Structure 1
Amino acid sequence: MPQVLTIILGGGKGTRLYPLTKNRAKPAVPFGAKYRLVDIPISNSINAGFKNIYVLTQFNSASLHLHLANTYIFDSFTKGFVEILAAEQSFDQAGWYEGTADAVRKNMHHFKTQRPSHYLILSGDQLYRMDLADFFLKHIESGADATIAATPVSRDAAGGFGILELNSKGTVKGFLEKPEPGQNIEEMRIPDRLHPDTEMRKEGRDYLGSMGIYLFKADVMEKALDNALTDFGHEIIPGLIKKHKVQSYIYTGFWEDIGTIRNFYETNLSLAGIYPSFNFYDEAMPIYTHKRDLPASKFNFSSISQSLTADGCIITNANITNSIVGIRTFIESGANLDGAICMGADYYETPVERQENRESGIPDIGIGGKTMIKNAIIDKNARIGQGCRIGIDNIDRKEGDNGFYYVRDGIIVVPKNTIIPDGTVI
């Protein structure tokens, strides 16, 4: 019976998502009001019945480890696990992961003990819901040594992907990593008989971009990594195509690579739309996360439209539009949020702690009364005082580090645990 081992690549320092990755690994970044990014690939794998899962990371892994340990607990009958493998020193190796393939290679001794028949490689920072069981079935039916999941992309977008060239049977015969804007790749268009979506074709999405999702026969991947090559996309996949049968799996559903602050911000807010592209409300293929047993959120005389609110919030006399409100968020009277992502809090402050805040002259955790926030991300445990104006005024905001806040891709980011005094204008 086939035994699939899932390997989720947690990425490097996550510099493009900084400062959200200042104190946490990229897969641990909060998302969609109550989830973490890593919940997406783990849930896809579990829903397919693939419950032996390793998550590879090497930076700020404490928060990620705590989330996984508190969330993915299987009983003795399930015989599954979700474990984190952080970069480690040993007698054989002492360095950091130098790329996706290098990270997998350096943990191969852990993987082999599970005696898998196949390896499933997933990314830790993508939003999608794929039927990975069907992906595996199509791989078996094709008789391929490896299968690459790919989605149709336009020529303009092709520069951000590894582009697959197929024969008439869907077998990959060529692979070009991130073609230059002026480079001629006409011969790599999806064959007419294989293009799965008429609407995508009308939009000019005529090329297949690799999603960074791979399925390998175990012996094939182990042999492919028996070298010093460091990256799947640049090195391992092109080498495999020359020597093995590599099949394509064309995916036409929603898929988003959450790689930048702008992309993270827009993808989050899109979840609050009337008809979001990604549907969390799917009982057949749920997205799992930590069960916190928080109370229901309470709204006191508030106006909320096209927004998501997580559990445990208390919102009083506030106006919230097109926003995401995370767990345990307190929003005080007169506050106004428009296009804001509030990640919430890790704990509730007690009445005694709130009194101590008064005496110390610092705001409580949450959003203070009469504060206005627009086009901003407020990370966990931030203390935003009363009467603040964040992103409201037409002022020059310098990209980068501005002391107690950052501007990345035009989005204001208030880091975790930051204190914003009453009346502050950003």
Structure 2
Amino acid sequence: MRDAIALVLAGGGGERLSVLATERAVSAVPFGGKYRIIDFALSNCCHSGVRRVGVITQHAPASLHDHVGSGRAWDLDGRESGIVILQPFMTRDQAGWYRGTADALAQNWDVIEESRAARVLVLSGDHVYKMDYRALMAAHQRVSAAVTLAVLAVAPDQVHRFGMVTTDADGRVLGFEEKPQRTDAHLASMGVCVFESEVLREALRGRPVDLALDVLRVLVRSGARVQACEFDGYFEDVGQISTYYRANLDLLRPDPRLLLHDARWPILTRDEERPPVLLLPGADVAGSLVANGCRIAGRVRNSVLFPGVTVRAGAEVTDSVVMQDVIVEPGAKVRAAIVDKLVRVGEGATVGAGDPSPDPSLAWLDGLTLIGKDAEIPARATVGRQVVVGVGARPSDFGGEALAPGARIADHVATQELA
């Protein structure tokens, strides 16, 4: 893989993740008790022998920049390896912000050219999967393809989430549809592809905007050799609430489809130095993933707890994803919720109360309650299912009434406060 460079598209704003992506890129959202979503793409690069990586960022990049750092966690800080953060910038000749995925590649063409790489591996930073990119590269070279797409079979009710491809008996791509409502195709593009550098250069000359619509689809229609390489491992696009939640709780199954403890292909990350888990008298934990630094004196069931979570005596956490340094005070209950970092759930408060509403406009929440980073839930407050509590919400925002399904408390973001 010495003749390849990987570019990770990690600048997405993640509107479908709501408050989880207000102050961070989707690829920087915490996952699985200790990781960030981008760790999967970077770990795959490390284990596949990809030594040169560019991370293309745009939306709220500070958290992602801090996490990636020099790339040491993924062995990308050596003499013959390296990682570079590619943030948009303005010059006399270009306007700055990336207009789309293809434009992001075009604006960073100088990085590709300076690498002298014969092939460009383009990856998405918001997918959870393990893949040996060497197999994809071998399939690409075996048929002398111009582009090779990693694809996987999906159910008919999932085709609207993916770019769908049709192929001939030899795996050559004959058609490409971007997120159709219905199609006869059953192979979905994973957002992982290998380009011959010269092919990509020519495709970007007209400054296309979208990689799928303006590059891949055009190449297929032009008759270029676009090949599909089918993948049969675990894969999840966690860019929406339902899939993010499901992928986290899938880790709690006795036989999870995604093995985080696989020593042959570990997921690497920038570790935090935390003390071991402390189970205090009265702690009752079952069927859960509990990270270092947690202090538990209450009841935890079927949940993922990130580092530093405190569950005090008499508190309960059930069917939830709870991020770093959250404090659940005595007697509080958290049910069917995703709670972002540094949240305090006040004494006797209930998050995720009652039953979900059948209102179709709330279907995107999948019955869950979302609590944004730095929010403070006041004591004895009742926050119903399918409620969204914004980043930095304060006790005074809650009033005295229970929050019913569909309620939304606005964000308190520092830059907005100054406006």
| Pairwise TM-score range, normalised by the shorter structure | 0.7 to 0.9
- Closer, same or farther in 2 for the Cα pair 1:387/1:163, shift >3 Å? same
**CA-CA distance at 1:75 after TM superposition:** 7.3
Identify the residue that residue 200 of structure 1 maps to in structure 2: none
Identify the residue that residue 166 of structure 1 maps to in structure 2: 167
1:28-67, CA deviations, whole angstroms, 9 ceiling, x for partnerless residues?
A: 1111110001101111111101021111121110111000
Identify the residue that residue 146 of structure 2 maps to in structure 1: 145
Letter of the structure 2 residue corresponding to residue 13 of structure 1: G
User: d(CA) in 2 for partners of 1:86 and 1:285?
Assistant: 29
Partner residue of 2:205 out of 226, 229, 251: 226
Residues 356 and 367, structure 2, Cα contact 8 Å, conserved in 1: no
Partner residue of 2:229 out of 233, 249, 265: 249
User: d(CA) in 2 for partners of 1:174 and 1:400?
Assistant: 33
- Closer, same or farther in 2 for the Cα pair 1:70/1:4, shift >3 Å? closer
Letter of the structure 1 residue corresponding to residue 261 of structure 2: Y
**CA-CA distance at 1:262 after TM superposition:** 1.8
Partner residue of 1:371 out of 332, 340, 355: 332
- Closer, same or farther in 2 for the Cα pair 1:142/1:395, shift >3 Å? closer
**CA-CA distance at 1:157 after TM superposition:** 2.2
TM-score (norm 1): 0.84
User: d(CA) in 1 for partners of 2:358 and 2:33?
Assistant: 27
Q: Secondary structure in 2 aligned to 1:391?
A: strand
- Closer, same or farther in 2 for the Cα pair 1:328/1:211, shift >3 Å? same
User: d(CA) in 1 for partners of 2:360 and 2:51?
Assistant: 42
Identify the residue that residue 358 of structure 1 maps to in structure 2: none
Identify the residue that residue 14 of structure 2 maps to in structure 1: 14
Q: How many residues align?
A: 379
Aligned residues: CA RMSD: 2.2
User: d(CA) in 2 for partners of 1:398 and 1:171?
Assistant: 43
Which runs of structure 2 are paired with 1:152-301 in the superposition (5 Å)?
152-181=153-182, 185=184, 188=185, 207-241=186-220, 242-301=222-281
TM-score (norm 2): 0.85
Identify the residue that residue 308 of structure 1 maps to in structure 2: 289
1:275-330, CA deviations, whole angstroms, 9 ceiling, x for partnerless residues?
A: 111111111111011122221111123221221111111111x1111101011111
Letter of the structure 2 residue corresponding to residue 391 of structure 1: G
1:230-274, CA deviations, whole angstroms, 9 ceiling, x for partnerless residues?
A: 112112112222242111100111111112112211211111111
Residues 346 and 378, structure 2, Cα contact 8 Å, conserved in 1: yes
1:394-425, CA deviations, whole angstroms, 9 ceiling, x for partnerless residues?
A: 48699999xxxxx9343211111111121111
User: d(CA) in 2 for partners of 1:400 and 1:386?
Assistant: 31
Q: Secondary structure in 2 aligned to 1:104?
A: helix
- Closer, same or farther in 2 for the Cα pair 1:157/1:71, shift >3 Å? same
Letter of the structure 1 residue corresponding to residue 136 of structure 2: F
Residues 149 and 211, structure 1, Cα contact 8 Å, conserved in 2: yes
Residues 224 and 236, structure 1, Cα contact 8 Å, conserved in 2: yes
Residues 9 and 101, structure 2, Cα contact 8 Å, conserved in 1: yes
Letter of the structure 1 residue corresponding to residue 91 of structure 2: S
User: d(CA) in 1 for partners of 2:215 and 2:145?
Assistant: 16
Q: Does 1:343 align with 2:344?
A: no
User: d(CA) in 1 for partners of 2:236 and 2:305?
Assistant: 21
Identify the residue that residue 120 of structure 2 maps to in structure 1: 119
Letter of the structure 1 residue corresponding to residue 27 of structure 2: P
- Closer, same or farther in 2 for the Cα pair 1:395/1:40, shift >3 Å? closer
Structure 1, unaligned stretches of length 5 or more? 189-206, 346-364, 402-406
Identify the residue that residue 30 of structure 1 maps to in structure 2: 30
Letter of the structure 2 residue corresponding to residue 211 of structure 1: M
Could you list the structure 1 runs, at least 4 aligned residues long, displaced by more than 4 angstroms after superposition: 73-78, 394-401
Identify the residue that residue 351 of structure 2 maps to in structure 1: 390
Structure 2, unaligned stretches of length 5 or more? 384-419
Identify the residue that residue 373 of structure 2 maps to in structure 1: 416
1:378-399, CA deviations, whole angstroms, 9 ceiling, x for partnerless residues?
A: 1101111111111133486999
- Closer, same or farther in 2 for the Cα pair 1:129/1:396, shift >3 Å? closer
Ranked by relative contact order (alpha carbons within 8 Å, sequence separation 6 or more), the top structure is 1
User: d(CA) in 1 for partners of 2:360 and 2:270?
Assistant: 34
User: d(CA) in 2 for partners of 1:166 and 1:396?
Assistant: 42
Letter of the structure 2 residue corresponding to residue 392 of structure 1: A
Q: Secondary structure in 2 aligned to 1:18?
A: helix
Letter of the structure 2 residue corresponding to residue 303 of structure 1: D
Q: Secondary structure in 2 aligned to 1:19?
A: helix
Letter of the structure 2 residue corresponding to residue 422 of structure 1: A
Letter of the structure 2 residue corresponding to residue 213 of structure 1: V
User: d(CA) in 1 for partners of 2:188 and 2:291?
Assistant: 34
Moved more, 270-279 or 27-36: 270-279
User: d(CA) in 2 for partners of 1:77 and 1:45?
Assistant: 14
- Closer, same or farther in 2 for the Cα pair 1:112/1:395, shift >3 Å? closer
User: d(CA) in 1 for partners of 2:55 and 2:335?
Assistant: 35
User: d(CA) in 2 for partners of 1:342 and 1:139?
Assistant: 41
Identify the residue that residue 63 of structure 1 maps to in structure 2: 63
User: d(CA) in 1 for partners of 2:134 and 2:356?
Assistant: 51
Identify the residue that residue 193 of structure 1 maps to in structure 2: none
User: d(CA) in 2 for partners of 1:283 and 1:46?
Assistant: 14
Identify the residue that residue 332 of structure 1 maps to in structure 2: 312
